[in-house]
Chain A
């Protein structure tokens, strides 16, 4: 059995007798949950694999039915991705790293296991629902799946509130984004339940998609960029105040975007320019992370996660595609997909890669880049972009391109699953409970103030 696997089991065993949860003075030790990301990533990899196989089989068996019910299928796809396997990575990051960042872990292992169980069972129900090929049954099974996925967000409300109270507001270079996931997840959970109650109403679906995919996900991505470049690599791409301003601007634009979706759909008011709030959110996300500073550090050959960097540089493609689609009077479907599956997947898996390597204490320069995911997903984005242009009538793309984009996306998204199974079961390296860098994040560089005396 893999040393990593044994170590992780040992860690769970220690938890079960409560040895790691309290320090020598009887205080709750915030480091106890450090290895919890292993279970979340395993769940994410497993369900990502099931998702890919499910999508493939559905296309194979009943493509006509899929196209006829595209509205519902797409909505379910968004929920499985954003609240399913992507959310598992978000929770992995939240449970695995935030205790180190804020020196607080106000939850216990039951919450961790509960979230994993809810995540997996919720996705399983939604995927099973799709294969009934009957709209009524899909909604019935889907209700079970959405309830379970929503509960995974709602049950963390208590610990999240405690974590927000305990957080180090003055030192965290990720500013408001750091509190975004714990704060927004319970809200998203409740909203998803409310939205699903009226899933047959188009407005309900559109509003929830606007909140989940257009606002929440880009903010998570920006939080991840800042977490990697600003906190982990200490590149100082933006100040804490700058990050906080970026958070507020994105939040404001997000609200405007949701209101514009509501206004446009109900015909209460329709300002065509308000449709551009989506590319505007993407643009602010891109510029707010200071591309010039990121580029300067990359040119200086400072080590970084290639996946996160590639994801970041694909944001302009999403912006461009959305602008063109809106100009031509279409919904920015392709732009949104590039953001969700291209940028979102690469960002979150990139962060997960890096976090795991931190636990393995692998030197920064020796870390693998995740090339299969990077190349596969990048090519898929290129083909998908071309296909989008074809739909808009700007190009005449051959039919094989759509299939190529799909196959490449499947291969690319299958890679994290395979990589993670490999890491869990066959990894031979050392695994440390305290990750590199985060273990001494709060250590004073000059505890005895020798520098000031001089």
Chain B
């Protein structure tokens, strides 16, 4: 009791909980923008954008904008919500003012809304729609670059030394900064010749999907199992050199991607390095330790656990795609984004919210509908891919199966929206400014060194 009161006083004194509830705005915005995203997807399908109803170039730009709205829009809003709420508490330093999260949120949401408006004008005023997409890209890129500023400030203060896993949580932040610049370049170079476009496309895939979602998955899983649940998953030599090896593997993958996309080298294994960082992320998470503890029935977030389980499956699919197909790693990347990135992020977000409600770990409600629907959709995707590639027809009607995949994905995403609406509008739980566990994270267990003195 005394300990938690002391923590409250200390937090109030430094103002560390000033931004504690900001994640609620981010999560709600993410849920609403996600709904808008799916409405747009339906409209795109309805009007046949991509099937020749508009100029093919414009359709390509529209697809790019939609991936932007998803990857750097409503998905990243969840990450920013957690980041802005957690950073001050975690690193014991307030490196931003209250208006920064608001600015990031509104500029990002503004960009997403502009993408939606641009799609309404895509038939009647294509040139205005293109201009709007440029504005939207600018806003989204600027918003994510802004969000990195406090994290970089923390790094400069050397705060990464104050917590477990050191600089690893900063990995996505630094990648996001690169993404902001690269995405802008990719968009501005969209009318360039084929070689430049092919190169920028490679950069985009490398940063916006591979590096970003691998690192987000890693940080969420590590933060959940390693820090929050205090499971000893990253210890020993892996803790010491884990990050360095990961960066090295990222670099190898990046070089291979760039070699491929500059048409400098086209050897059969050029896409295989994608698997290396993915498997290393899996190894870093200490799967043996996680499975042992989970088998004992320890409480944990199931979406985060499911995300970890997808890692080796995606690696296997990537190997198959790299060696036996000519379509690139599109399926592996799709699974990486939804199976690992989104699942881990949303699972982490929900657990964090439950920490603010001070719910006992054993009694926490799991987002089962989200979990089942999303994973069902991903499994259907894998089955469809396999039947297409192996030319076997286990499921005779592929169209129906494809629709079923989309419907389950939509159910998963809508369940996320409904979950948040319920939590924000109808939840009768108490909400605490200082989340469970984090309030006492930095407190000395033996502040007066009584144990030492007694020896």
Chain A interface residues toward B at CB < 8 A: 16, 18, 107-111, 114, 117-118, 121, 136, 139-141, 143-144, 147-148, 151, 155, 158-159, 193, 196-200
The reply to whether B128 and A144 form a contact with Cβ atoms under 8 Å apart is: no
Given known contacts A136-B191, A197-B132, A114 and B103 CB-to-CB distance under 8 angstroms: yes
| 11 cross-chain CB contacts under 8 A | A111-B97, A114-B146, A117-B146, A140-B188, A144-B138, A147-B134, A147-B135, A148-B142, A151-B107, A155-B107, A200-B127
For A154, give the chain B residue with the smallest CB separation.
Answer: B110
User: For window 44-63 of chain B, which residues contact chain A by CB distance below 8 Å?
Assistant: none
**Consensus secondary structure, chain B interface:** helix
Q: Which residues of B contact A193 (CB under 8 A)?
A: 135
The reply to whether B135 and A111 form a contact with Cβ atoms under 8 Å apart is: no
Q: Does B388 contact A (CB under 8 A)?
A: no
B123 CB, min distance to chain A CBs, angstroms: 16
How far apart sit A139 and B188, CA to CA, in the bound complex (Å)?
10
Q: Does B419 contact A (CB under 8 A)?
A: no
User: Chain B, 125-153, contact with A by CB distance < 8 Å: what is the 0/1 string?
Assistant: 00110011011001100100010000000
**Consensus secondary structure, chain A interface:** helix
How far apart sit A144 and B100, CA to CA, in the bound complex (Å)?
21
The reply to whether B99 and A144 form a contact with Cβ atoms under 8 Å apart is: no
The reply to whether A110 and B99 form a contact with Cβ atoms under 8 Å apart is: yes
Known: A109-B97, A140-B134. 17 other contacts (CB 8 A): A18-B94, A110-B98, A111-B103, A114-B100, A143-B131, A143-B134, A143-B135, A144-B138, A144-B188, A147-B139, A151-B139, A151-B142, A155-B103, A159-B99, A193-B135, A198-B128, A199-B131
Given known contacts A197-B128, A197-B132, A198-B128, A143 and B138 CB-to-CB distance under 8 angstroms: yes
Q: Which residues of B contact A16 (CB under 8 A)?
A: 95
Residue from B106, B131, B146, B191 within 8 A of A197 (CB atoms) = B131
Q: Which residues of B contact A159 (CB under 8 A)?
A: 99
Q: Does B184 contact A (CB under 8 A)?
A: yes
The reply to whether B135 and A108 form a contact with Cβ atoms under 8 Å apart is: no
Q: Does B96 contact A (CB under 8 A)?
A: yes
How far apart sit A148 and B97, CA to CA, in the bound complex (Å)?
21
How far apart sit A108 and B184, CA to CA, in the bound complex (Å)?
28
B343 CB, min distance to chain A CBs, angstroms: 32
A150 CB, min distance to chain B CBs, angstroms: 9
B44 CB, min distance to chain A CBs, angstroms: 21
The reply to whether B99 and A108 form a contact with Cβ atoms under 8 Å apart is: yes
How far apart sit A136 and B96, CA to CA, in the bound complex (Å)?
38
How far apart sit A285 and B24, CA to CA, in the bound complex (Å)?
49
How far apart sit A144 and B183, CA to CA, in the bound complex (Å)?
12
How far apart sit A158 and B103, CA to CA, in the bound complex (Å)?
11
B303 CB, min distance to chain A CBs, angstroms: 32
User: For window 6-28 of chain B, which residues contact chain A by CB distance below 8 Å?
Assistant: 15
User: For window 171-218 of chain B, which residues contact chain A by CB distance below 8 Å?
Assistant: 184, 188, 191
**Chain A CB within 10 A, most for which of B94, B127, B191:** B127
How far apart sit A110 and B131, CA to CA, in the bound complex (Å)?
28
**Chain A CB within 10 A, most for which of B94, B99, B102, B142:** B99
Given known contacts A143-B138, A144-B138, A108 and B97 CB-to-CB distance under 8 angstroms: yes
Q: Which residues of B contact A147 (CB under 8 A)?
A: 134-135, 138-139
Q: Which residues of B contact A148 (CB under 8 A)?
A: 138, 142
For B100, give the chain A residue with the smallest CB separation.
Answer: A110
Residue from A18, A109, A141, A143 within 8 A of B15 (CB atoms) = A18
For B118, give the chain A residue with the smallest CB separation.
Answer: A197
B101 CB, min distance to chain A CBs, angstroms: 9
The reply to whether A108 and B98 form a contact with Cβ atoms under 8 Å apart is: yes
Q: Which residues of A contact B146 (CB under 8 A)?
A: 114, 117
A277 CB, min distance to chain B CBs, angstroms: 29
Q: Which residues of B contact A144 (CB under 8 A)?
A: 134, 138, 184, 188
How far apart sit A143 and B107, CA to CA, in the bound complex (Å)?
16
For A159, give the chain B residue with the smallest CB separation.
Answer: B99
Q: Which residues of B contact A196 (CB under 8 A)?
A: 131
How far apart sit A154 and B184, CA to CA, in the bound complex (Å)?
21
For A199, give the chain B residue with the smallest CB separation.
Answer: B131
Q: Which residues of B contact A18 (CB under 8 A)?
A: 15, 94
Q: Which residues of A contact B138 (CB under 8 A)?
A: 143-144, 147-148
How far apart sit A197 and B15, CA to CA, in the bound complex (Å)?
43
Given known contacts A144-B188, A197-B128, A198-B128, A110 and B135 CB-to-CB distance under 8 angstroms: no
B130 CB, min distance to chain A CBs, angstroms: 9
Q: Which residues of A contact B98 (CB under 8 A)?
A: 108, 110
B80 CB, min distance to chain A CBs, angstroms: 14
How far apart sit A117 and B104, CA to CA, in the bound complex (Å)?
13
How far apart sit A111 and B97, CA to CA, in the bound complex (Å)?
9
The reply to whether A110 and B142 form a contact with Cβ atoms under 8 Å apart is: no
User: For window 63-117 of chain B, which residues contact chain A by CB distance below 8 Å?
Assistant: 94-100, 102-103, 106-107
The reply to whether A107 and B99 form a contact with Cβ atoms under 8 Å apart is: yes
How far apart sit A110 and B191, CA to CA, in the bound complex (Å)?
36
Q: Which residues of A contact B99 (CB under 8 A)?
A: 107-108, 110-111, 114, 158-159
